[in-house]
Amino acid sequence: MDRVLFDAARCKGCGLCVSACPEGALAQREEANRMGYHPAYLAEPAKCVSCGLCAVICPDLVIRVYRPVAAAVPAR
């Protein structure tokens, strides 16, 4: 699973996340969504460091960010 998930139907294609990503991991799709916008997506998943900044700047609650962690003994 990707570290960053996009709810593409909500995306307005503003590109703020793309420009905010310090790793250059994001891009916008060619095809428009139902609203007519070009949604952002994780173009280069490998670059992503789960910093969450794309989600911090997104005005439209499009993005969820996750960080992979070693599944250790569950903390009590």
Partner 1 sequence: MERTLIVAGFGGQGVLSLGMVIARAGMSEGYEVSWLPSYGPEQRGGTANCHVILSDEPVACPLVGHPQTLIAFNLPSLEKFAQRVVPGGEILVESGLEAAVTREDVRLYALPALEEANRFGDTRVANMVMLGAWLELHPILGDEAIEDALRRVISKRHHDLLPLDLEAIRAGRRLMAMARA
Partner 2 sequence: MSVTLRPVFEPTRGLRSDRVTHYCPGCTHGVAHRLVAEVLEELGVLERTVGVASVGCSVLAYNYFLVDMQEAAHGRAPAVATGIKRVLPDRVVFAYQGDGDLAAIGMAEIVHAAARGENITVIFINNANYGMTSGQMAPTTLVGQRTTTTPLGRDPAQAGYPIRVAELLDTLDGPAYIARGSLHDTAHVLQAKRYIRKAFQAQLEGRGFSLVELLSSCPTNWGLEPVEALDFIRERLVPHYPLGELRKPEGVR
What is the identity of the amino acid at 29?
Answer: R
Q: How far is the CB of 74 from ligand SF4 (least distance, A)?
A: 25
Identify whether the C-beta of residue 11 lies closer than 8 Å to the C-beta of residue 36: no
Site string for partner 1, 1-40 (x = CB under 8 A): -----------x----------------------xx----
Residue 42, φ and ψ in degrees, nearest 5: -80, 95
Please report, as ranges, the residues that interact with partner 2 according to CB under 8 A.
Answer: 1, 3, 9-10, 12-16, 19-20, 35, 37, 50-53, 55-61, 63-72
